[in-house]
A and B are shown apart, each in its own frame.
Chain A
Amino acid sequence: MSSVLYDTPGPRAKVRNVLYTVGFLVVLGAALYWVLRTLGDAGELEADKWSPFFTDSRVWTTFLLPGLVNTLKAAALAMAIALPLGAVLGIARLSDHAWVRSTAGAIVEFFRAIPVLLLMVFANEAYAMWTNVDSDVRPLYAVVTGLVLYNASVLAEVVRAGILSLPRGQTDAAQAIGMRKWQVMTFVLLPQAVTAMLPAIVSQLVVIVKDTALGGAVLGFSELLRQGDLITVNYSNPIAAYLFVGVLFIVLNFALTSGASWLERRIRQGRKSSGAVLGTEQLEELENVGPEPVTERGGQTDRT
């Protein structure tokens, strides 16, 4: 196997690679040994810290599963509200009217530049002051509000990039047969743009799922991470509890990531649309906001 950076190994390179492998495994093994020894010294490896996860079903029924349900509930709600809102904002940013364009642009840029945590904290207090939302559900409301405001503005950029990635001829042809502006958008551009954006939208879910954990740590919303805290209170086994919580998050998000790249491959192969696919790679750049217009790298192709 050859790559850009190295040739197919000859006899000497093979020996060297074996040496590197052994050296790396020794370092890795030493690190692992140190971690396990430190854990052992601190008494974190004792069986009764880990056995509750296998023998005591209450750990799952009282803590982990309800936490997972709450995480998914907040993520699903946020996605369901943010998606249409993001679509509206994204389309508004492409409007022919300068005041609509600039208003939508200001909203999107503002909420993309603010940390989600600030939005959540603010929403939590604002609900407490100005509305009579019950204090039991207030954290959920605040978490969803924060996630919606942030992710709607990110999705607005995804939608905008998706529409801009379509060939210009699509609009020209639609206008040539006498379609109105809204007809061009709803019947020609949006359906194609949504297909192109699907992988990006799915992987935005990962960002939302991860960010729900903020609500647990700061607002006391009883999602997965918060429930993990409660397990450590009951069984005093922080390492084990966070490990299980982490594994649940990773499995969930890894499934979403893999789903997104599977979808991306399928759409790229299918070529049912104009062939423009806004991949997960580009989305990660969207997630990491910058004032740069996102469309600049839109046409970039992958090379491996």
Chain B
Amino acid sequence: MFDFLDSPQYNLLGAFWLTVQLTVFSGIGALVWGTVLAGMRVSPVPVMRAFGTAYVNVVRNTPLTLIIVFTSLGLYNSLGITLGAEGDIESINFRLAVLGLAAYTATFVCEALRSGINTVGLGQAEAARALGLSFFQVLWSIVLPQAFRSVVAPLANVLIALTKNTTVAAAIGVAEAALLMKEMIENESDAILLVFAVFAFGFIVLTLPTGLVLGWLSKRVAVKR
């Protein structure tokens, strides 16, 4: 019944491994860029606040599919941007997909962090300012550490959404799980329910532990008030 799984033609584990890699790399990118954006949105400089707000509103309202397709057709085909992976089309597409996913997911990270910054007690920042710390010192050593601890659960949800969103990379031919499923479902038309079940199971295996582990972590590190 599951004999299609043994066919050397399909590299199921390889496809899911690529999904995991996409998730990890773009997750790191989104975390860094999202933190910078959140810093801009709460900064005392109006121009930076305006830029952060504009970026979040524009990118969040753009379909991820459009962003991913644009990285391939706009950035690579038209402008020749390869992100340092010359010649090898597979790794170029992979890097472009990571770029697109990170740029999109950063907006959600930024919004989660911003709501986390709002939960930090007023007295904390006031006390830090009374000690004479500058804005960056207040943000980096007092507010952000507490904000991060209180947004572990929302960030876990962002990470789970990111895991599912990596399937969009199939639109530019990154050989991750969704693309393999599309190929398998077209070839193995007598077993499409099984194929679908296998891939559905794969995604549940990827997302369920993430949610459980980070949910447990969020309770452990929560700031007691």
User: Residues on A close to B: CB < 8 A?
Assistant: 3-7, 9, 13, 17, 20-21, 24-25, 28, 38-39, 42, 44, 110, 113-118, 121-122, 125-126, 129, 206, 209-214, 216-218, 225, 228-229, 232, 238-239, 242, 245-246, 249-250, 253-254, 257, 281, 284-285, 287-292, 297, 302-304
A4, A238, A245 interface centre (most CB from chain B within 10 Å) = A4
The answer to whether A44 touches B78, judged by C-beta atoms less than 8 angstroms apart, is yes
Q: Enumerate chain A residues within 8 angstroms of B171, measured Cβ to Cβ.
A: 214, 217-218
Q: Tell me, yes or no, whether B207 is within 8 Å of chain A by CB.
A: yes
The binding surface of chain B is classed by DSSP as helix
Interface size on B, as a range, is: 35 or more
B47, B77, B80, B153 interface centre (most CB from chain A within 10 Å) = B47
* Closest residue on chain A to residue B209 by CB atoms: A291
- Cα A253 to Cα B70 in complex, Å, equals 19
The answer to whether B203 touches A250, judged by C-beta atoms less than 8 angstroms apart, is no
Q: Tell me, yes or no, whether B83 is within 8 Å of chain A by CB.
A: no
User: Residues on B close to A: CB < 8 A?
Assistant: 42-48, 51, 57-58, 61-66, 68-70, 73-74, 77-81, 108, 111, 115, 117-120, 122, 125-126, 129, 135, 138-139, 143, 153-154, 156-158, 160-161, 164-165, 167-168, 170-171, 178, 181-182, 185-186, 189, 192, 196, 199-200, 203-204, 207-208, 211-212, 215
Q: Enumerate chain B residues within 8 angstroms of A25, measured Cβ to Cβ.
A: 47
Q: Please name 4 further chain A to chain B contacts, defined as beta carbons within 8 Å, in addition to the given A4-B122, A288-B160, sorted by A numbering.
A: A3-B44, A129-B192, A214-B171, A288-B108
The answer to whether B204 touches A113, judged by C-beta atoms less than 8 angstroms apart, is yes
Q: Enumerate chain A residues within 8 angstroms of B170, measured Cβ to Cβ.
A: 117, 218
Residue from B45, B68, B108 in contact with A21 in the complex, judged by beta carbons closer than 8 Å: B45
Q: Enumerate chain B residues within 8 angstroms of A238, measured Cβ to Cβ.
A: 70, 73-74, 77-78
A and B contact pairs by CB, cutoff 8 A, 13 listed: A25-B47, A113-B207, A114-B203, A115-B178, A118-B199, A122-B181, A122-B192, A125-B189, A245-B66, A288-B154, A289-B160, A302-B118, A303-B119
The answer to whether A9 touches B51, judged by C-beta atoms less than 8 angstroms apart, is no
Tell me, rounded to whole Å, the shortest Cβ–Cβ distance linking A278 to chain B. Answer: 16
Q: Enumerate chain B residues within 8 angstroms of A292, measured Cβ to Cβ.
A: 153, 156-157, 211, 215
Tell me, rounded to whole Å, the shortest Cβ–Cβ distance linking B172 to chain A. Answer: 9
The answer to whether B44 touches A17, judged by C-beta atoms less than 8 angstroms apart, is yes
Q: Enumerate chain B residues within 8 angstroms of A285, measured Cβ to Cβ.
A: 154, 157
- Cα A254 to Cα B61 in complex, Å, equals 6
Tell me, rounded to whole Å, the shortest Cβ–Cβ distance linking A260 to chain B. Answer: 12
Q: Enumerate chain A residues within 8 angstroms of B129, measured Cβ to Cβ.
A: 6-7
Q: Enumerate chain A residues within 8 angstroms of B61, measured Cβ to Cβ.
A: 206, 210, 249-250, 253-254, 257
Residue from A3, A118, A302 in contact with B178 in the complex, judged by beta carbons closer than 8 Å: A118
The answer to whether B69 touches A242, judged by C-beta atoms less than 8 angstroms apart, is yes
